A and B are shown apart, each in its own frame.
Chain A
């Protein structure tokens, strides 16, 4: 490293230089390489994680990369850090680096096939990583499923709040419609001795009909969205926010007063259909469809509406139709997320879909980044995991998370990864352009 010899580099520059030197070889690691490395790490954990954890003085494998252990028993910090290093950081670092030539070649080969094949290979690998990771403890399983549901919810809200540039507050309402419809559907049809009477169909059929239940929930949510959209889309900005907020409370009150679905007591005993593969599939499906939607002509029209409705109208964009479609589309996915949520938790009550849920989803959207699919995924997963990891701090958690959000709003006002396009084809490509390496080191 021969940097400007005249003035000695500041610490910050030196750290940056060191970091980029470590990072250098990893620039050429394709996504495939990372996935294989992660697979090796979780496999390693599955095989030797427990003895290693015990050897380090931990009672169990740390569930969330040691964060919970560090916060609740600070004395075990070195053990937890060592465990995470030995099981995750080192194996992933080594495998990703040294298989890079191989994985690049495979990725290049895969690129010759249709996109579907490439995507499937990556998805299967991703699922395998997730499955083995969750196999260690049920706690991870629950956290992972809830985080994935948050992804769907955040993404769908991003369509309205990010791509369309409006401020909608009715998402918990759509979610609760989806949750209630899907719950009623599965309980009426497949649960015996339920509040509505005997099961109408054999329970064995249940898992196959579950997608139908979710879609029905989504569709009815979308219908609900239509009811908000018709009066409120004549207004913009604050007015839509207020109308949608009112809608959320109307839905909540509606379910509180509906004795058929348990009123304020809620409804329980949903069958256990929302397993990890099912939630994973729906999450991938939602990312895929929403990503296609926002990159389509309709998505571009949506951005045009955001930047200037009058201008968009003048440029022959049917603004009303565009806004309606996007809003209903977002509500559909919120409904699906609600249906999954109800079947993961297997209990819902109107109170779960109130102002606190709204705050949670909004935080995820603005934390991750407006107008960005990657941002939504990062925001949802990030906040879910942070919130779970900081649980031992009790009340201080609610000081740390807001401070984090404030800092993000100051330094990156639109969120972590905002206004980017998620190009599926590009992320699967091999990364072999090594020669620019030297440039980066001094940059």
Chain B
């Protein structure tokens, strides 16, 4: 300890002697993204959104009348938990960022959140839905709504819209997001229609491509519709195979459907289907439309929810920094100030809906039900609020 103090003293005297007046401190924002690994598309969306955000803000944030330069430190976590933790440690101790945006998926966000919380640095994950990411971690926030909310939203929507009573569920047991959501949907559905109203609860394992056995079981059990919280590549296969087997009812999905690839792979089979998500790209207005148009213009495709949620996370960070009132250059004080400001944000007008954080750092926000139109576009259908 005394050695550190000694080194610090030397450094302090050196700084005083050499620099004289201190320049305006730079605000550093760390981006912890999966640029390589299993889900590079997610990493790309994060990176593009962040770069666009920086450009939009002209590389500065004005706090209390002073303009501070902003620097983004984008690091790759290879879509691995241990790398995400290492990246967070590096961002916090080496790059001395004020706040971290990311990581995206829960398997990286949970260990990385632990690091951020231990090192007292605010972190906001734009995409992670695992409760453990923010649980008992005052320094960690997120922007998506949680699965315990989304599950019942879908259950209620199907009940109101179609009046069905018998549900079939098909999900990936080896992937934490679909599995969690399938279970929350099941309990939400059974709350409304009573036990055993989910007539078929079928699972498969990541990488499977033939779902005919499970789909046959679901059809034989007499399910009126299928809920499948899967990713785009599986959605296409599931929907097409269900139709080939002669399933007539609707197939309903969750926010993981919200990728441009879904329609591309699935084609006409997916037209007319519904899913719940964070925002609807088609028919958007105001800030959401401005974001989508700009992104489309810069990078040539309509952003999926990761891009939009990252955009919101960065704007929440900006809001928190501005609410903070002053950036002193004392890293610890600034980080605390940003955290407190973030926790106190109320009714933040994001492009994925208005957000207020709970004590756990999870947002209270509305979900959107999207219908895939006959042109294959994601059109706004309905908004469901908690």
* Residues in A lying within 8 Å of B, measured CB to CB: 46-51, 54-55, 59-60, 63, 68, 137-139, 141-143, 146, 252-253, 256-257, 263-266, 268-269, 341, 344-352, 356, 388, 391-392, 394-395, 397-398
Contact = CB atoms under 8 A, between A and B. Distances in A.
Contacts of B346: none
B174 A59 contact: no
Interface in B78-120: 80-82, 85-87, 89-90, 92-94, 96, 106-107, 110-111, 114, 119
A349 B176 contact: yes
Interface of B: 3-4, 6-8, 10-11, 14-15, 18, 35-37, 40, 75-76, 80-82, 85-87, 89-90, 92-94, 96, 106-107, 110-111, 114, 119, 130, 132, 173-176, 179-180, 205
Given A48-B10, A142-B85, A352-B82, A253 B205 contact: yes
B7 A50 contact: yes
Nearest to A255: B174
A139 B81 contact: no
Contacts of B107: 266, 349, 351-352
A360 to B, nearest CB: 9
10 contacts: A63-B90, A141-B89, A256-B173, A257-B173, A264-B173, A264-B175, A264-B176, A346-B114, A347-B81, A352-B80
Contacts of B174: 252-253, 256, 264, 350-351
Contacts of B106: 265
B111 A346 contact: yes
A351 B111 CA distance: 13
A136 to B, nearest CB: 9
Contacts of A55: 14, 18
Given A265-B106, A268-B132, A139 B94 contact: yes
B43 to A, nearest CB: 9
Given A138-B119, A347-B132, 10 more contacts: A68-B94, A137-B94, A139-B90, A256-B173, A265-B176, A266-B176, A268-B114, A341-B82, A345-B85, A345-B111
Contacts of A344: 82
A349 B76 CA distance: 20
Contacts of B15: 54
Interface residue SS majority, chain A: helix
A55 B90 CA distance: 22
Contact of B93 (A50, A139, A264, A351): A139
Nearest to A256: B174
A49 B11 CA distance: 10
Given A60-B96, A394-B76, A388 B86 contact: yes
Most buried by B among A141, A265, A352: A265
B35 to A, nearest CB: 5
A345 B82 contact: yes
A268 B110 contact: yes
A391 B90 CA distance: 11
A252 B7 CA distance: 48
A264 B173 CA distance: 7
B106 to A, nearest CB: 7
